[in-house]
């Protein structure tokens, strides 16, 4: 803003100080705008925090709406050195006698020994092709290669078969080429074919896999795992088997017998309910803390709907009507929820289907109803988003008003400075005239004295 170069220099007036004080008064509406904006920004922050807490409660509610939460199982092996087991909610609570008679192996082939200087190929069409399933890789041997060069040529990214080549140097200094399949089982074995002058006898590759007795496998089909489950013989290409018993994965580790047991795992459900209670209590605390920054009508609406959801019976879905029947109660002093997980565990043991229906029924279950209520607040363009959009619009309008007012203040300060500059000049002129008159009066007085 423009200012006087030497305000009040002639009159002695503190022009700068006077203008500053006047501008403090003029700026008061600007301070009011800033305070108003700060209040709206606090409201925006409050609604943002409220939406976050509502979303957290909705997330925990969705877990209760998943029937799998209440059907979760746990599985154990009586001898984890022989096999381990994991289960999903699709597994039936039961036990199974399992005998592992053979583990699946990665197919492994080794050549005879060759000097490290020996070369292979060198004629047109000489080639070695590796095939695993539908994938093949052809090694061009039209230019002769040593075993070391063949190893490097097989272990390239372009080899989609997954077969890797190793090179073993024995005490004699000779080398053996070893080919190993990436995956276990007969279907993943490496198959060889040749071209040109290269043939099966060129490398004399043969299977190296052995059985549990240390003997070479009688057949490549023995690369598959073999086990007996409750009397039924099962053969699979992998040591991780998930298609024999619904919902159960068996990971084979050694030959032997053990029992697999599947049982209900209530800890998944009790953990989900515990998380729900924590999210609910966090929201309740926030509703109490936001009373000074967020509209009371919205808070009361949420409070009322939460209270209704917690106390309205869920009828016609089984043995249970109220959420309190699962160990969830309200502390009369604090208003916060408390959870006794043992009550939930007992309910799941006594009537698991009714528990699932109460929480997870897709039409009338507790989680479905509460999720619908929460969605109305947190969804895009929902209640809270609409409020936030209005608050943001108010902030933008305040910004426009502030900018306009600041422009006015520039003109006001310029006018004050101009007015007081004129006053200063006037007072300087008046002081000059006063001094002139004083001198004239003094001269007249001196003249009168001399004449007397």
Among 166, 188, 222, the domain-final residue is 222
Burial class of residue 10 in the structure, from the number of CB atoms within 10 Å of its CB (0-12 exposed, 13-18 middle, 19+ buried): middle
Cα gap 285→282, rounded to integer Å: 5
Cα gap 348→338, rounded to integer Å: 19
Asked whether residue 3 carries a pLDDT value surpassing 50, the answer given is: no
> Do residue 428 and residue 359 come from a single domain?
yes
Q: Are strands 106-110 and 175-184 parallel, antiparallel or unpaired?
A: antiparallel
Residue span of the structural domain in which 126 resides: 106-222
Closest CA to 254 of 131, 146, 100, 428: 100
> Do residue 152 and residue 288 come from a single domain?
no
> Do residue 65 and residue 180 come from a single domain?
no
Model pLDDT, residue 327:
96
> Do residue 114 and residue 210 come from a single domain?
yes
Per-residue pLDDT tens over the stretch 375-411: 999 999 889 999 889 989 998 998 898 888 888 888 8
CATH of the domain at 197: 3.30.70
Q: What is the mean pLDDT of the chain?
A: 91
Per-residue pLDDT tens over the stretch 250-304: 999 999 999 999 999 999 999 999 999 999 999 999 998 887 778 778 899 999 9
pLDDT tier for residue 11 given thresholds of 50, 70 and 90 = low
Per-residue pLDDT tens over the stretch 147-163: 999 999 999 999 999 99
**Residue 28 contacts residue 445 (beta carbons within 8 Å):** no
Q: Are strands 164-169 and 175-184 parallel, antiparallel or unpaired?
A: antiparallel
Asked whether residue 30 carries a pLDDT value surpassing 90, the answer given is: no
> Do residue 254 and residue 297 come from a single domain?
no
Asked whether residue 5 carries a pLDDT value surpassing 60, the answer given is: no
> Do residue 275 and residue 383 come from a single domain?
yes
> Do residue 390 and residue 305 come from a single domain?
yes
> Do residue 8 and residue 137 come from a single domain?
no
Model pLDDT, residue 10:
55
Closest CA to 59 of 212, 271, 275: 275
Least confident of 100-104, 244-248, 424-428: 424-428
Mean pLDDT on 166-184: 96
Q: Are strands 94-102 and 225-229 parallel, antiparallel or unpaired?
A: antiparallel
Model pLDDT, residue 15:
75
More confident residue, 19 or 1: 19
Model pLDDT, residue 432:
72
pLDDT tier for residue 1 given thresholds of 50, 70 and 90 = very low
Asked whether residue 437 carries a pLDDT value surpassing 80, the answer given is: no
Looking at the structure of the chain, the number of domains it has is 3
**Residue 251 contacts residue 240 (beta carbons within 8 Å):** yes
> Do residue 118 and residue 251 come from a single domain?
no
Asked whether residue 16 carries a pLDDT value surpassing 90, the answer given is: no
> Do residue 441 and residue 297 come from a single domain?
yes
Q: Which residues contact 22 (CB under 8 A, 6 or more apart)?
A: 416
Please give the backbone phi and psi of residue 124, each rounded to the nearest 5 degrees, phi first. -60, 140
Per-residue pLDDT tens over the stretch 80-124: 999 999 999 999 999 999 999 999 999 999 999 999 999 999 999
Among 264, 289, 315, the domain-final residue is 264
Per-residue pLDDT tens over the stretch 298-312: 899 999 999 999 999
State the distance between the two ends of the chain, measured CA to CA, in whole angstroms. Answer: 61
Among 203, 234, 264, the domain-final residue is 264
Cα gap 277→283, rounded to integer Å: 10
> Do residue 316 and residue 351 come from a single domain?
yes
> Do residue 99 and residue 118 come from a single domain?
no
């Amino acid at each position: 803003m423009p200012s006087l170069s030497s305000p009040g220099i002639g009159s002695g007036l503190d022009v700068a100080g006077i203008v500053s004080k006047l501008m403090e008064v003029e700026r008061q509406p600007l301070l009011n705008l800033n305070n108003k904006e700060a209040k709206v920004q606090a409201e925006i922050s409050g609604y943002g925090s409220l939406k976050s807490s509502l979303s957290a409660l909705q997330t925990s509610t969705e877990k209760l709406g998943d029937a799998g939460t209440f059907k979760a199982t746990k599985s154990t092996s009586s001898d984890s050195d022989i096999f381990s087991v994991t289960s999903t909610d699709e597994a039936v609570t039961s036990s199974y006698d399992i005998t592992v008679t053979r583990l699946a192996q990665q197919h492994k082939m080794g050549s005879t020994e060759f000097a490290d200087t020996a070369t292979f190929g060198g004629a047109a069409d000489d080639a070695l092709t590796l095939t695993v399933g539908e994938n093949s890789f052809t090694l061009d041997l039209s230019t002769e290669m040593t075993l070391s060069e063949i190893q490097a040529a097989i272990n390239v990214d372009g080899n989609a078969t997954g077969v890797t080549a190793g090179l073993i140097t024995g005490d004699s200094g000779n080398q053996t080429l070893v080919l190993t399949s990436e995956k276990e089982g007969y279907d993943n074995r490496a198959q060889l074919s040749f071209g040109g002058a290269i043939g099966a006898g060129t490398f004399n590759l043969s299977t190296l896999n052995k059985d549990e007795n240390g003997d070479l496998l009688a057949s490549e089909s023995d690369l598959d795992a073999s086990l007996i489950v409750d009397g039924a013989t099962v053969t699979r290409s992998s040591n991780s088997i998930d298609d024999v018993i619904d919902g159960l994965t068996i990971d084979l580790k050694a030959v032997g017998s053990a029992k697999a047991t599947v049982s209900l795992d209530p800890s998944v459900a009790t953990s989900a309910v515990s998380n729900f209670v924590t999210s609910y209590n966090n929201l309740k605390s926030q509703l109490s803390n936001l009373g000074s920054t967020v509209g009371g009508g919205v808070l009361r609406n949420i409070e009322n709907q939460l209270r209704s959801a917690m106390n309205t019976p869920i009828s016609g879905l089984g043995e249970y009507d109220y959420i309190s029947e699962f160990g969830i109660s309200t502390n009369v002093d604090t208003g916060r929820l408390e959870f006794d997980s043992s009550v939930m565990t007992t309910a799941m043991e006594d009537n698991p289907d009714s528990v699932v229906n109460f929480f997870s029924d897709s039409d009338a279950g507790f989680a479905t109803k509460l999720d619908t209520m929460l969605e109305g607040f947190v969804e895009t363009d929902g209640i809270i988003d609409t409020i936030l959009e209005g608050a943001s619009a108010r902030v933008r309008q305040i910004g426009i008003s502030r900018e306009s007012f600041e422009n006015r203040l520039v003109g006001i300060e310029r006018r004050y400075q101009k007015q007081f500059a004129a006053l200063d000049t006037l007072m300087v002129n008046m002081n000059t005239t006063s001094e002139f008159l004083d001198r004239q009066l003094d001269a007249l007085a001196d003249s009168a004295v001399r004449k007397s």
